[in-house]
């Protein structure tokens, strides 16, 4: 049989130039990656793709982890699954607000009236322009759309096989309706509640912050030794880093077993400066080793204060307001004229200024036992904030997540056990977090660009909101904006009037919405047919830094709403570290933008580099590594052209493979197929790549060299060679396709129909040869390597003629060598080839011309 396939059209000079653009447009036009929604659930592979933060920028870390998921998606697609691979954009929340603020030079001021004709300046001015909430939100929508277009271009260039018809935005109406509906279901089942309570508060952004958004930073501070007075005038000295909270002091506390303070428990002392009588109490959390062993409890200097305040039933004397300044009114308990006068000097001051003044006052009245001793200590910050958090009493909405309820906590821990984790040890991070929860999930935020809490409150005759009985909208009316929509049974004129209603002014935490991505992407209750085919999903890919936020909150929501895990497997990816092994992040300024990498090395090269990072492991960024994939892609072009240039075509794959070398090569390839398949099934794209790549280079360097002379000839030997080349190339392209989709598609297009990405994943049994000595290939390689070595040592070129080769090796290996003798002689350009048998290590004597 000769090569007659009309589809074979080899390029003169194969090149990678322009291949990305060509394939991106072809895949879009042909809808290569469209989800087949007629598939039953069992035949679907559904992925809960992380929606990138639209206001950020994509960096090389995104390229890394998104590539990992894409290889898995492509593998399952070729295995015949209908792959549900949507993409969303996380565009609600504070990051967007900050970006809009900087990009346009504006500031949201809810007191400003809406200006329909407002246009932002060309360039941001020095002074931020105050604009209405509605204008601000319009700009958020505008800018995120621009950003998302840029992201889409990058993802397409990278070769992500998303189905772009299943896009969502976390701020679009569908996401808003889903988020509000899920929240209202939580409310109706008693899983969400509102409460006035001490709240971690960011004074810059003026919003409450959840436990999951905290981070600790080392900050300089100082111990201040302050003397309280016993009724008899004896001093009791405490150490504090927060002397400015003295007016908020409600008690002193020491460890119950601390002998130094035993006699004080139950007695009272008087605060300096303000003359307030406070009790001395005992509590296990007081650490005898810290400071003087006795601490001042204030409302509230830190989370320990909150614990003490709650467990010891102490009164509230909060003095720090939402702006981070001392409030105007002193606590009622300060009654002395002197105390009230001192307080009035503090009122309105920032925490920092108040601290200085209190220290000065203490010094003047002799209550400062010694000068402040500087220390460095951990201080809690909002992860995006720049000033330490304060604790302020506010009313907020919470969702029960096990933080205050051991039954729910145990259930969430069980979910963590039920989930398959890749890599397995990430399971501990989840358990660690859930076990350490300090309270329920605070989901309300005092911000603008977010999804509104879909509630109103009745106002009583005094205009006070009735928080216990919120007015809940009908699900069909969602999404709603309580700031402009009017609840059923009320008139707009009753807004904010006594006896009328008020809209909840807050928005939901961004995680309250992104915890619903499995519901948003699968169009929960908007498209029940789709939902049933894809939920619960198969895979959640994500970074390990957001196990405590995105992963955990998604598990919570699915447990509460559906009583199930949201997905079967969590694939946790590692970080990209810079060459100094520090995590790359924008704030450190050590990020690498992917666009330059993609254009310099090509998408396949960058993907190859990404796929060489094992699941879950951090990897140091080194642009040198991009060259490996580039070289592979180039090799694939040239080797394919050469193999097909022998005349091998798609039709030849059905020719009988008769030659031992060919049969041994195909059997070795069958082993590779099995290993790669097993690896991919375990999400290990790295091992799949490594096995395929090793085989491919040996295939090029050895098998193709050994067989080329025969393949160019005629007869059964030539037909066998061309069949083996055709089969092997087809399989190799398919094995590589998930990792390097561009070059494989390019080569496939030269000689095959359709997209390589829609072909069946290769099966080992199609390649496995029933009668073959598998040693034929390694023995042939050993022989040709010996000839090459002799030529290299003699410093002659590889194409030099060889007068004769004498091989001496054990009888059974000699038999194998005889099977491939002609191929070796041809490839080595040896005119005579003699095989002797002896029970020694194989030995080759090469006589050069």
Partner RNA sequence: GGGCGAUUAGCGCAGUGGUAGCGCACUUCGUUCACACCGAAGGGGUCACUGGUUCGAACCCAGUAUCGCCCACCA
Considering only the C-alpha atoms of the chain, give the largest distance between any 2 of them, rounded to a whole number of Å. 116
Min. distance of Cβ 392 from RNA in angstroms? Answer: 12
Min. distance of Cβ 17 from RNA in angstroms? Answer: 7
Which CB, 239 or 651, lies closer to RNA?
239
Which CB, 263 or 795, lies closer to RNA?
795
Which CB, 35 or 736, lies closer to RNA?
736
User: What is the rounded distance in angstroms from the CA atom of residue 55 to the CA atom of residue 144?
Assistant: 6
Which CB, 324 or 479, lies closer to RNA?
324
Min. distance of Cβ 415 from RNA in angstroms? Answer: 17
Q: What are the angstrom distances between the C-alpha of 790 and each of 405, 702, 706, 828, 845?
A: 76, 16, 17, 11, 9
Residues 531, 536, 541, CA angle at the centre, nearest 5°? Answer: 115
Min. distance of Cβ 158 from RNA in angstroms? Answer: 18
Which CB, 40 or 218, lies closer to RNA?
218
Residue 495: beta bridge partners?
Answer: 501
Min. distance of Cβ 283 from RNA in angstroms? Answer: 9
Which CB, 534 or 704, lies closer to RNA?
704
Q: What are the angstrom distances between the C-alpha of 827 and each of 185, 665, 728, 800?
A: 74, 16, 20, 11
Residue 503: beta bridge partners?
Answer: 456
User: What is the rounded distance in angstroms from the CA atom of residue 522 to the CA atom of residue 533?
Assistant: 9
Which CB, 145 or 375, lies closer to RNA?
375
Which CB, 90 or 302, lies closer to RNA?
302
User: What is the rounded distance in angstroms from the CA atom of residue 453 to the CA atom of residue 502?
Assistant: 12
DSSP code at position 766: G
Q: Which two tokens stand for residue 226?
A: 């302050």
User: What is the rounded distance in angstroms from the CA atom of residue 531 to the CA atom of residue 512?
Assistant: 20
Which CB, 239 or 662, lies closer to RNA?
239
Min. distance of Cβ 389 from RNA in angstroms? Answer: 5
Min. distance of Cβ 138 from RNA in angstroms? Answer: 35
DSSP code at position 776: H
Min. distance of Cβ 821 from RNA in angstroms? Answer: 19
Which CB, 173 or 284, lies closer to RNA?
284
Which CB, 340 or 428, lies closer to RNA?
428
Q: How many residues does the chain have?
A: 849
**Phi-psi category of residue 241: left, alpha or beta, with phi > 0 → left and psi -120 to 50 → alpha:** alpha
Min. distance of Cβ 590 from RNA in angstroms? Answer: 13
User: What is the rounded distance in angstroms from the CA atom of residue 665 to the CA atom of residue 655?
Assistant: 16
User: What is the rounded distance in angstroms from the CA atom of residue 452 to the CA atom of residue 455?
Assistant: 8
Which CB, 470 or 571, lies closer to RNA?
571
User: What is the rounded distance in angstroms from the CA atom of residue 552 to the CA atom of residue 431?
Assistant: 10
Min. distance of Cβ 203 from RNA in angstroms? Answer: 12
User: What is the rounded distance in angstroms from the CA atom of residue 228 to the CA atom of residue 273?
Assistant: 10
Query: Residue 37's closest CA among 1, 83, 5?
Result: 83
User: What is the rounded distance in angstroms from the CA atom of residue 199 to the CA atom of residue 556?
Assistant: 21
Residues 81, 83, 85, CA angle at the centre, nearest 5°? Answer: 170
Q: For 830, phi and psi rounded to 5 degrees?
A: -95, 130
Which CB, 209 or 521, lies closer to RNA?
209
The answer to whether 687 touches 679, Cβ cutoff 8 Å, is: yes
Min. distance of Cβ 131 from RNA in angstroms? Answer: 33
Which CB, 346 or 611, lies closer to RNA?
611
User: What is the rounded distance in angstroms from the CA atom of residue 721 to the CA atom of residue 699?
Assistant: 13
Which CB, 229 or 486, lies closer to RNA?
229
Q: What are the angstrom distances between the C-alpha of 637 and each of 4, 88, 450?
A: 21, 35, 49
User: What is the rounded distance in angstroms from the CA atom of residue 24 to the CA atom of residue 16?
Assistant: 14
Min. distance of Cβ 216 from RNA in angstroms? Answer: 7
Min. distance of Cβ 329 from RNA in angstroms? Answer: 24
Which CB, 465 or 623, lies closer to RNA?
623
User: What is the rounded distance in angstroms from the CA atom of residue 805 to the CA atom of residue 817?
Assistant: 13
Which CB, 81 or 722, lies closer to RNA?
722
Q: Which residues of 490-499 are buried (b: 16+ CB within 10 A; e: fewer)?
A: eeeebbeeee
Min. distance of Cβ 95 from RNA in angstroms? Answer: 18
Q: For 735, phi and psi rounded to 5 degrees?
A: -65, -35
Min. distance of Cβ 431 from RNA in angstroms? Answer: 7
What burial class does residue 620 get, using C-beta atoms within 10 Å of its C-beta: 0-12 exposed, 13-18 middle, 19+ buried? Answer: middle
The answer to whether 685 touches 573, Cβ cutoff 8 Å, is: no
Judged by DSSP in three states, 39 sits in coil
Instruction: Spell out the residues 6+ positions from residue 107 whose beta carbon is closer than 8 angstroms to its own.
Output: 101, 128, 129, 130, 131, 136
Min. distance of Cβ 638 from RNA in angstroms? Answer: 4
The answer to whether 394 touches 199, Cβ cutoff 8 Å, is: yes
Min. distance of Cβ 689 from RNA in angstroms? Answer: 10
User: What is the rounded distance in angstroms from the CA atom of residue 157 to the CA atom of residue 25?
Assistant: 10
């Amino acid at each position: 049989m000769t090569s007659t396939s009309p589809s074979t059209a080899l390029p003169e000079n194969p090149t990678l130039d322009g291949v990305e653009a060509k394939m991106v447009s072809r895949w879009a036009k042909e809808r290569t990656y469209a989800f087949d929604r007629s598939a039953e659930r069992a035949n679907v592979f559904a992925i809960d793709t992380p929606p990138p933060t639209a206001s950020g920028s994509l960096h090389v870390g995104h390229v890394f982890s998104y590539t990992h998921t894409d290889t898995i998606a492509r593998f399952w697609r070729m295995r015949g699954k209908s792959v549900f691979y949507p993409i969303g954009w996380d565009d609600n929340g504070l990051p967007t607000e900050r970006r809009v603020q900087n990009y346009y030079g504006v500031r949201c001021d809810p007191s400003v009236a809406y200006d329909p004709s407002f246009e932002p300046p060309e360039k941001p001015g020095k002074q931020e322009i105050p604009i209405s909430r509605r204008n601000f939100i319009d700009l958020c929508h505008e800018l995120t759309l621009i950003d998302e277009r840029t992201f889409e271009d990058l993802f397409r260039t990278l070769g992500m096989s998303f189905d772009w018809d299943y896009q969502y935005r976390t701020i679009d109406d569908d996401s808003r309706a889903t988020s509000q509906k899920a929240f209202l279901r939580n409310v109706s089942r008693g899983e969400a509640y509102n409460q006035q309570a001490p709240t971690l508060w960011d004074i810059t952004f003026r919003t409450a912050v959840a436990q999951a958004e905290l981070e600790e930073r080392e900050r300089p501070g100082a111990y201040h030794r302050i003397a309280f007075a016993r009724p008899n005038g004896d001093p009791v000295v405490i150490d504090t880093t927060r002397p400015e909270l003295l007016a908020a002091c409600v008690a002193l506390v020491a460890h119950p077993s601390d002998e130094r303070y035993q006699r004080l428990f139950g007695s009272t002392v008087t605060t300096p400066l303000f003359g307030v009588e406070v009790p001395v109490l005992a509590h296990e959390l007081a650490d005898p080793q810290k400071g003087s062993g006795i601490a001042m409890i204030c409302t509230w200097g830190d989370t320990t204060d909150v614990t003490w305040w709650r467990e010891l039933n102490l009164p509230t004397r909060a003095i720090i307001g939402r702006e981070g300044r001392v409030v105007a009114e002193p606590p009622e308990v300060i009654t002395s004229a002197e105390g009230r006068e001192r307080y009035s000097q503090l009122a309105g001051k920032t925490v920092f200024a108040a601290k200085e003044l209190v220290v000065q006052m203490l010094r003047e009245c002799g209550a400062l036992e010694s000068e402040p001793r500087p220390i460095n200590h951990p201080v809690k910050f909002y992860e995006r904030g720049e000033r330490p958090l304060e604790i302020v009493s506010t009313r907020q909405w919470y969702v029960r997540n096990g933080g205050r309820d051991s039954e729910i906590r145990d259930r969430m821990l069980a979910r963590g056990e039920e989930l398959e984790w890749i890599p397995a040890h990430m399971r501990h991070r989840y358990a660690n977090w859930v076990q350490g929860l300090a309270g329920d999930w605070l989901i309300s935020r005092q911000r603008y660009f977010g999804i509104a809490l879909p509630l109103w409150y009745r106002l009583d005759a005094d205009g006070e909101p009735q928080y216990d009985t919120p007015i809940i909208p009908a699900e069909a009316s969602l999404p709603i904006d309580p700031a402009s929509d009017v609840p059923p049974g009320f008139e707009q004129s009753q807004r904010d009037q006594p006896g009328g209603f008020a809209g909840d002014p807050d928005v939901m935490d961004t995680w309250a919405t992104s915890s619903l991505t499995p519901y948003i992407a699968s169009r929960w209750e908007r498209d029940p047919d789709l939902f049933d085919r894809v939920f619960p999903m198969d895979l959640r890919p994500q970074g390990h830094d957001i196990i405590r936020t995105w992963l955990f909150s998604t598990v919570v929501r699915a447990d509460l709403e559906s009583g199930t895990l949201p997905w079967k497997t969590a694939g946790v990816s590692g970080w990209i570290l810079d060459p100094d092994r520090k995590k790359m992040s924008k704030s450190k300024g050590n990020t690498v933008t992917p666009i330059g990498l993609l254009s310099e090395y090509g998408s396949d090269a960058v993907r190859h580099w990404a796929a060489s990072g094992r699941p879950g492991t951090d990897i140091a960024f080194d642009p040198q590594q991009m060259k490996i994939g580039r070289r592979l892609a180039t090799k694939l072009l040239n080797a394919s052209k050469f193999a097909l240039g022998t005349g091998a075509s798609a039709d030849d794959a059905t020719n009988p493979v008769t030659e031992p070398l060919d049969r041994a090569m195909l059997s070795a390839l069958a082993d590779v197929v099995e290993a790669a398949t097993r690896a991919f099934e375990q999400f290990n794209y790295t091992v799949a790549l490594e096995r395929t790549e090793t085989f491919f280079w040996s295939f090029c360097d050895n098998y193709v060299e050994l067989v080329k002379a025969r393949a160019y000839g005629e007869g059964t030997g030539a037909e066998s060679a061309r069949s083996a080349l055709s089969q092997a190339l087809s399989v190799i392209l398919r094995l590589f396709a998930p990792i390097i989709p561009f070059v494989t598609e390019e080569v496939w297009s030269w000689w095959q129909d359709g997209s390589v990405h829609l072909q069946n994943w290769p099966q080992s049994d199609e390649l496995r040869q029933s009668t073959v000595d598998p040693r034929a290939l390694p023995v042939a390689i050993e022989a040709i390597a010996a000839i090459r070595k002799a030529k290299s040592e003699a410093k002659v070129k590889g194409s030099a003629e060889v007068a004769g080769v004498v091989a001496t090796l054990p009888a059974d290996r000699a038999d194998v060598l005889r099977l491939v003798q002609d191929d070796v002689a041809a490839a080595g350009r040896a005119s005579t080839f003699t095989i002797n048998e002896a029970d020694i290590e194989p030995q080759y004597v090469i006589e050069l011309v």
